[in-house]
A and B are shown apart, each in its own frame.
Chain A
Amino acid sequence: RKEVEQDPGPFNVPEGATVAFNCTYSNSASQSFFWYRQDCRKEPKLLMSVYSSGNEDGRFTAQLNRASQYISLLIRDSKLSDSATYLCVVNNANTGNQFYFGTGTSLTVIP
């Protein structure tokens, strides 16, 4: 079973739409959770960390459900510049500090 599973999409949404991405992880001992953004042919860059209490950064809201081992990312008022691949990332420091990546969800925001 994969460490992290994501719906690969693609998601094609109009500007201004709200879109949600989901992710599940298999290791209940996982400790840290992140959403990264990757533009085509570029390295991933941190979008936001995900905390148990949920956290919001502008138009982006991330939530974590440890009981269901489920992570979500909500993007409101989508912009053209939001078009990218969004990677769900899980880390368990107790097993070597490796980061495990989902396959990524492709988002295209259409004018």
Chain B
Amino acid sequence: DIQMTQSPSSLSASIGDRVTITCRASQSISSYLNWYQQKPGKAPKVLIYSASSLQSGVPSRFSASGSGTDFTLTISSLQPEDFATYYCQQSYSTPVTFGGGTKVEIK
């Protein structure tokens, strides 16, 4: 199985801050990396697919990059509605695997 490691596992940030979350795969997954946002009591929602493509309707303050084994998700200016848990997911091979999550909290 491909292991997905996210860091940090949690972070505290203020409104307007630039936030970066990293995801590392245990082997190369090309660009088969997706990012999800999950708010408490809600299902995950896709933000980014194929490592860097912004899902329709997702604010442009979200961006992502990477290929191979190292990936990043960036929120350029944190907004109140962005406080949530973020997960990466590889779809390169079965079994599909998710990172452990990064919880973004209010400072």
Whether A and B are associated in the same complex: the answer reads no
* Interface residue ranges, A against B (CB under 8 Å): none
